[in-house]
Chain A
Amino acid sequence: MKNFKLYILSGLLFVAACKPEIHTPSLSRGTANFSRFIAVGNSLTAGYSNGGLYLDGQLNSYPSIMAKQMAQVGGGAFNQPLFTSAQANGSGYLTLAGFTKAGSPIIDTVTTDLAIRTEYNAPGFGPVILYTKYTGDIENYGVPGIKLYNITTPQYGNYNGYFERLLPGDGSTTVLNTDYLDFVTAKPFTFFTDWLGNNDALSYATTGGAGDVLTDKTTFAQLYEASLQQLTVGGAKGVVATIPDVTSIPYFNTVTVAAINAQVAALGAKLYINALVSGTTYAPRLATNSDLIILTFPTSMLGTLVSTPYGPLPYGLTPYTPVDNKYVLDANEVALTRDYVQSYNNTIKSQAAARGLAVFDAYTYLNNVQLHGLEVDGISLSSAYITGGLFSLDGVHLTPRGYAIIANEFIKAINTTYSANVPLANVASYQGLKFP
């Protein structure tokens, strides 16, 4: 009897070691070479999240996620201009403090352990916040706020604190004479991601068409060609991404005209906005579901009395007191933005094709997510604010999980174009939005 037990026990120990091994396709870099991979782009590339750039977001930027996967097929070191752990909160960022009884989010701002150096008033531009300088090696060149329009501007570092941070010299006292494109291409590299161009449309859209202008289509095409020329001149290969439809992000889809009208219906009121007629002419009119209210619109302003020539009237609820232009991307502005984004994307796709570069079509991808949601490894994601899991609290930038999904889409595009087999990242191991 004893022996049998022993046999069974030793048998079990033996088979415990015999787990099935699945024959997996071998990884390969294909025709690409990742020995120095650089990331060119704006806030999305930098790892901006929850309305700020901070260490935790940087560590989950999509280029850093990609670099980890590329490291398995010969990818080299990938340095990011990280904030130090003492200044881990970088620019500061938004956190979710909880929910009101009605279920609305309560949002706080992190203001400790920042990396803010100073703020100065750039002549002819306005206030610029400057951050603690970063002096180490850089592979992630993501600069929050940068437009394609800015990449050949020599003094751009004087106007963008996130770029100034990477350059030698104090931008508040000296004229910085390095443009972005020259800066990123100064050292040789073998592979790049290029996701520039979002802000050429987004800066206009997020300010309701009031705070900025759309980059001219021809200018965009010329600059895009110049940038790809300079990025590929040394023989580097790369992947570019298209610009998402601005209306596919929660920033424009969370506070809606329909919801506001449902709330004010009890007062017998309807929402009025100051809307684009044509050119630069704006006029008040009733809001429709085609008008997009921005996420940061202070809804508490609605109904507060505003003095007018006709006496005090409730804000947003009469033709004499329409919601300000800066809070609304109205139907005409939406159409205008869409028209520009489509033109930009045609430029991106045709110029990438001409140079044999891979393309991640973020425009199509995020539109699909908005229409159908996204199911990944048992996680239900959507473009919804807070509950969707993809977008961070600012309604524009992504959560680590969202960035991991983007990283995988870039990798898929690389694998297709360069006959590579770069392994995909495990989306489930990256976090969504943090809840208290």
Chain B
Amino acid sequence: MKKLLLLVFALMPVISFAQGFQVNLEGEKQIGMGHTGTGVLQDGASVFFNPGAVAMLPENYVQGGISPLLFKSTFNPQGTNVQDHTANKIATPFTFYAAWGPKDSFWKLGLGVYTPFGGLTDWGDNWQGKYVLESLNLKAIYIQPTLSIKLADFLSVGGGFVYNRGSVDLTQAIPLTNSSGQDGQAELKGSGKGYGWNAGIYIVTEVGVTIGITHRSEVNTTINNGNAIFTVPSSLQAQFPQPNTFSSSIPLPATTSIGFGFYPNKQWTLAFDANAISWDVYKVLAFNYGSTTAAGLQNTVEQRDYKDAFSLRAGAQYKTNKNLAIRFGGGYATTAVEDGFVSPEAPDANRAFVTGGLGYTFAHHLDLDVSFEYEHVMSRDQTNIQTQLAGTFETNVYIPGISLAYHW
């Protein structure tokens, strides 16, 4: 008779990749003004900010922009003076927009390709939370064809269909040591898709104030047949079958916005936006594997319990002359992550940001816009309910940006 043992290696890939991951970098002119654009009309980026306003654009637009993003996070484990830092890795949120319609017609077609959610975090394989997360690269690219119709000189509406191409690449250490003293490794890598829509109304009031109301729907993104790669000591490899696949589903939340534009004189534009982000849909994160074992790899369901988040933004643009615009703005956003659920993939907390920008129009047709955003994610001292990783996270985000827009 054998020694009577039941071996179960509990492994919970602690993978939660939709967390506080909204990237608000959808147009350099708008970034310069505190990322406002629901209630003001600037350029083709309205395809994202307010599809309802696109028909009001005086010209046709083709434009592209990029906002290299540096996410610098620090973790101080509770009870120590250690500070763990994320590596310098630059994420590249980008935008492409086109808006076209016959001259002076009541409609315009639009196309937007943009990255509303994403994250690039690399804590390395030697920090206190390595069994929670080593690195994460998450991207969601939305492709949105749009139709916008001017119902009257003071009112236009529009809407678009959203196709999301999402991808994730995540690594974490597995606390199973091999004979040479190395940890096991898990990597989950895959892509998936989801669908949604984006609609808006744009109103030009008699007093000259412009108002926009938009709703971008939830986009439930499903990853099927992603690669699940587990490297563990060879005597345990059978418990972590290879090759293996995983599937998971993440709801990227709906956002409802209202925005106002004020135009005190020819030089000044003032914009205000308020957004409600319905993170509350994110209750659990489930991972299912292609093959599981009774004593090793098992499907997981983790509680997330996000709450809705809100943000307020304001910005201003001053045109020194016909060609040069100076912009500045800022805002504040509340976190979706409740106490006890903060974790290193996106160490979320309430955040404040300031922005600035410059725009110059060459030869009436080509806009060059640059922007810079500094975002500070407040320090948050937390013990994660599930992983018990305890300590303080604090994050700064630095985002320069540049775009070119051709309009005719």
Contact = CB atoms under 8 A, between A and B. Distances in A.
Interface of B is mostly: loop
B378 to A, nearest CB: 10
Interface stretch (B73-81, B157-165, B194-202): B73-81
Interface stretch (B9-17, B46-54, B264-272, B324-332): B9-17
Interface stretch (A100-108, A204-212, A334-342): A100-108
A321 to B, nearest CB: 15
B44 interface: no
Interface stretch (A42-50, A251-259, A284-292): A251-259
Given A19-B85, A424-B80, A4 B402 contact: yes
A27 interface: yes
B129 A433 contact: no
A426 B390 CA distance: 11
A305 to B, nearest CB: 15
Given A24-B76, A423-B81, A15 B132 contact: no
A408 B83 CA distance: 18
A346 to B, nearest CB: 30
Contacts of B79: 408, 412, 415, 423-424
B4 A256 contact: yes
Contact of A426 (B6, B128, B392, B400): B128
A432 interface: yes
A11 interface: yes
A263 B4 contact: yes
B88 to A, nearest CB: 5
B233 A20 contact: no
Interface in A298-347: 299-300, 302-303
Interface string A255-277: 11001100100000000000000
Interface string B370-408: 101000000100000011110010111010101000000
B394 A435 contact: no
A4 B403 CA distance: 11
B315 to A, nearest CB: 20
A261 to B, nearest CB: 10
A113 to B, nearest CB: 16
B175 interface: yes
Nearest to A399: B177
A48 B384 CA distance: 33
B152 interface: no
B2 A434 contact: no
A19 B398 contact: no
Interface stretch (A177-185, A358-366, A373-381): A373-381
A436 B235 contact: yes
B12 A12 contact: no
Contacts, number: 170
A435 B179 contact: yes
A19 B132 contact: no
B290 interface: no
A251 B400 CA distance: 60
Contacts of B363: none
A377 B129 contact: yes
Interface string A400-429: 010000001000100100000001101111
A8 interface: yes
Interface in A1-42: 4, 8, 11-12, 15-16, 18-22, 24-27
Contacts of A379: 131, 175
Interface residues of B, number: 64
Contact of B396 (A19, A24, A259, A433): A19
Contact of A22 (B83, B178, B232): B83
A8 B68 contact: yes
B168 to A, nearest CB: 18
A428 B233 contact: no
Contacts of B232: 435
Nearest to B173: A428
A20 B73 contact: yes
B74 A428 contact: no
Nearest to A104: B2
Given A16-B88, A377-B129, A378-B14, A22 B7 contact: no
B400 A8 contact: yes
A423 B80 contact: yes
A431 interface: yes
Interface string B170-183: 00100111110100
Contacts of A375: 386-388
B7 A377 contact: no
A300 B4 CA distance: 11
B402 A377 contact: no
A156 interface: no
Nearest to B389: A377
A21 B83 contact: yes
A389 B7 CA distance: 12
B236 interface: yes
Nearest to B175: A379
Given A8-B68, A12-B400, A19-B85, A300 B1 contact: yes
Given A20-B394, A386-B7, A435-B179, A377 B131 contact: yes
Given A255-B4, A302-B1, A387 B9 contact: yes
B130 interface: yes
Given A103-B5, A105-B3, A387-B7, A22 B74 contact: yes
B77 A22 contact: no
Nearest to A297: B3
Contact of B177 (A25, A300, A424, A431): A431
A96 interface: yes
Contact of B7 (A103, A259, A426, A431): A103
Contacts of B177: 431-435
B132 A378 contact: yes
A99 interface: yes
Nearest to A303: B1
Contacts of B235: 96, 98-99, 435-436
Given A256-B4, A380-B10, A24 B402 contact: no
B4 A424 contact: no
B295 interface: yes
A315 B185 CA distance: 46
Interface of B: 1-12, 14, 68, 70, 72-74, 76-83, 85, 88, 90, 126-132, 172, 175-179, 181, 232-236, 295, 368, 370, 372, 379, 386-389, 392, 394-396, 398, 400, 402
21 contacts: A12-B400, A15-B72, A15-B398, A18-B396, A18-B398, A19-B396, A22-B83, A99-B7, A103-B5, A103-B7, A104-B2, A105-B3, A263-B1, A377-B387, A378-B130, A380-B10, A408-B79, A415-B79, A424-B80, A429-B128, A435-B179
